[in-house]
Amino acid sequence: MAENFKIVDPDSVPETPFPESGVTHTKLSGELRAQEMRINQVTVDPGEVVGYHSHTRQEEIYVCHRGPGEVYIDGEHYEVPEGGIVRIGCDVPRQVLNTGEEPTVWIMFGAPPIGTVQDFGEYEVAEGGYDEA
């Protein structure tokens, strides 16, 4: 039987706050034993905004698991339907936010060339962002 897989219930993994914004996220990479990807579940409550940031050498995929969701990418605001998928390339400032009345849950995937499951690899906090627009 194959042992190079893992099934994880995100609700069984403790949430921690993002250092910059305080928005809670569930780091799934370690629990899944992911070696080359970073996977997080991020719950964005009404009124919350994740820090505006970019990654020098990492594209990311955001899946709006429970939504609808909202993203702010390179100075533009976009709505994302539940089940919608967003790809964001390297060096593009991005953030998720919630101006609605219900929590939004995102599953976020990245494959940084460096970093560990404990950190987010290379990223830079960007100027501006939805909460500063």
pTM of the model: 0.80
CA distance 99 to 97: 7
Residue of 21, 52, 47 lying closest to 129 (CA atoms)? 52
Domains of the chain: 14-102+111-132 (2.60.120.10)
Name, in order, each residue with C-beta under 8 angstroms of 7's C-beta and a sequence gap of 6 or more.
none
In order along its 133 residues, the chain shows pLDDT tens digits of 457 888 899 989 999 888 778 888 899 988 998 888 889 999 999 999 998 988 888 889 999 999 899 999 999 999 999 999 999 998 999 999 999 999 999 999 988 766 554 555 566 667 787 766 5
